[in-house]
């Protein structure tokens, strides 16, 4: 037997202004503390002052916890403002006291409009991040395949080099052993010959085999000088190719460890680094020792300007360390500021960009 669950019904809230018939309330005015039906609500919806200063919410019963939550716990007044600085609802007394006096205050309707817009932008940004994540996943698959190909090529190159060296070594060893064995067989055959005439007739060939056996250099083998030189050169070229493949493989592993690690070309010093131009720093700004990080310190003046809705802009120039490199950079920007990124030539001055 399965348990039955009942969904709790919303409490019926009647219009406080209807006398004869208890009409269902459509909204509750938090300032008037009155619930109103559609007919009595028209005054609040059509009067600009009431629309701006009297916040409306879904119907709540008089004296309920929902209605009590709309009042300031410290002053007992209606929470009719929203502090964007601290992200809290405040009453009039909170807004004029020291804690929130210099903060960015908005009416509930204005705050709702602005924050809803921000959330929509955040939703778009998250969608873009999701697309970037999918692109990163595709990049990961491509890099995996590329890495596997690189490892396979490296193994093939190493195997080919091993086969070449081993084949040459086997040929050399076989040639050395063949000369020695030929001389041994010729001597054994001559010693078995008891007839003087036959012995002396074979001695010339035996002597030649012995001479060739004595000439065998167990260190260098029977290969000629040009053949040895060619073999050494082939090994050197194969080794250089393997070194390049090992370097490429190492970069692939670096890319897996850090996706921002990227090498555009195989030549050294091909990647350009950006450093901030110290001469373009604005007030309250400092640079790290490597000139790659900008630090900004908030001051009382900045806070006053921000609370008043006044924001200053500052142009920061970056310099490229390698003029011959490809334009391939990674930038990390703080989310606490709005950024505009652009390119200019070396003749550009602060705020004056040439085409």
What is the per-residue pLDDT for 120? 92
What is the per-residue pLDDT for 232? 73
What is the per-residue pLDDT for 167? 79
Burial of 79 (0-12, 13-18, 19+ CB in 10 A): buried
Q: Kindly report which listed range (54-58, 208-212, 250-254, 343-347) carries the lowest average pLDDT score.
A: 343-347
Q: Report the distance separating Cα 128 and Cα 31, nearest Å.
A: 41
User: Rounded mean pLDDT of 194-212?
Assistant: 85
Q: How confident is the model at residue 353 (pLDDT cuts 50, 70, 90)?
A: very low
CB 301 within 8 A of CB 310: no
Q: Kindly report which listed range (34-43, 168-177, 196-205, 320-329) carries the lowest average pLDDT score.
A: 320-329
What is the per-residue pLDDT for 1? 38
Q: Return the HEC string of the chain.
A: CCCCCCCCCCCCCECCCCCCCCCECCEEECCCCEEECHHHHHHHHHCHHHHHHCCEECCCCCCCHHHHCCECCCCCCECCEEECCCCEEECHHHHHCCCCCCCCEEEHHHHHHHHHHHHHHHHHHHHHHHHHHHHHHHHHHHHHHHHHHHHHHHHHHHHHHHHHHHHHHHHHHHHHHHHHHHHHHHHHHHHHCCCHHHHHHHHHHHHHHHHHHHCCCCCCCCCCHHHHHHHHHHHHHHHHHHHHHHHHHHHHHHHHHCCCCCCCCCCCCCECCEEECHHHCCCCEEECCCCCCEEECCCHHHHHHHHCCCCCCCCCCEEECCCCCECCCCCCCCCCCCCCCCCCCCCCECCECCC
Q: Is the pLDDT of residue 350 over 60?
A: no
CB 276 within 8 A of CB 317: yes
Q: Report the distance separating Cα 305 and Cα 325, nearest Å.
A: 42
What own/partner pairs with CB < 8 Å and gap ≥ 24 does 153-157 have?
Answer: 153/245, 154/242, 154/245, 154/246, 154/249, 157/238, 157/241, 157/242, 157/245
The predicted-structure confidence for 248-280, as pLDDT tens digits, reads as follows 777 777 766 665 555 444 444 445 567 888 887
Q: Is the pLDDT of residue 323 over 70?
A: no
What is the per-residue pLDDT for 203? 86
Q: Is the pLDDT of residue 330 over 80?
A: no
What is the per-residue pLDDT for 269? 47
Higher pLDDT, 31 or 228: 31
Q: Is the pLDDT of residue 49 over 80?
A: yes
Q: Is the pLDDT of residue 110 over 80?
A: yes
């Amino acid at each position: 037997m399965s348990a039955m669950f009942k969904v709790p019904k919303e409490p019926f809230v009647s219009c406080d202004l209807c006398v004869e018939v208890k009409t269902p309330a459509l909204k509750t005015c938090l300032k008037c503390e009155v619930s109103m039906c559609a007919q009595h609500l028209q005054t609040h919806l059509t009067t600009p002052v009431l629309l701006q200063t009297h916040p409306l919410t879904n119907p709540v019963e008089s004296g309920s916890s929902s209605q009590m939550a709309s009042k300031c716990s410290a002053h007992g007044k209606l929470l009719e403002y929203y502090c964007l600085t601290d992200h809290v609802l405040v009453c009039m007394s909170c807004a004029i006291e020291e804690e929130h006096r210099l903060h960015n205050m908005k009416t509930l309707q204005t705050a709702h409009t602005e924050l809803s817009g921000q959330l929509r932008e955040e939703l778009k940004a998250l969608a873009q991040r999701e697309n970037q994540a999918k692109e990163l996943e595709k990049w990961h698959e491509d890099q995996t395949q590329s890495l596997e190909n690189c490892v396979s090529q490296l193994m093939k190159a190493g195997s080919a080099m091993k086969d070449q060296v081993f084949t040459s070594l086997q040929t050399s060893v076989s040639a050395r052993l063949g000369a020695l064995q030929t001389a041994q067989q010729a001597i054994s055959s001559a010693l078995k010959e008891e007839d003087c005439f036959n012995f002396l007739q074979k001695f010339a060939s035996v002597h030649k085999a012995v001479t060739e056996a004595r000439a065998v250099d167990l260190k260098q083998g029977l290969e000629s000088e040009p053949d040895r030189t060619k073999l050494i050169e082939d090994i050197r070229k194969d080794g250089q190719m393997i070194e390049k493949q090992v370097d490429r493989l190492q970069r692939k592993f670096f890319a897996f460890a850090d996706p921002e690690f990227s090498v555009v070309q195989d030549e050294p010093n091909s990647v350009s680094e950006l450093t901030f131009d110290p001469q373009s720093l604005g007030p309250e700004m400092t640079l790290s020792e490597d000139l790659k990080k900008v630090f900004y310190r908030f001051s009382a003046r900045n806070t006053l300007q921000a609370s008043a809705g006044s924001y200053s802009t500052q142009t920061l120039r970056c310099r490229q360390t390698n003029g011959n490199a490809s334009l391939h950079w990674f930038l990390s920007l703080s989310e606490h500021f709005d950024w505009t990124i652009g390119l200019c030539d070396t003749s550009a001055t602060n705020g004056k960009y040439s085409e």
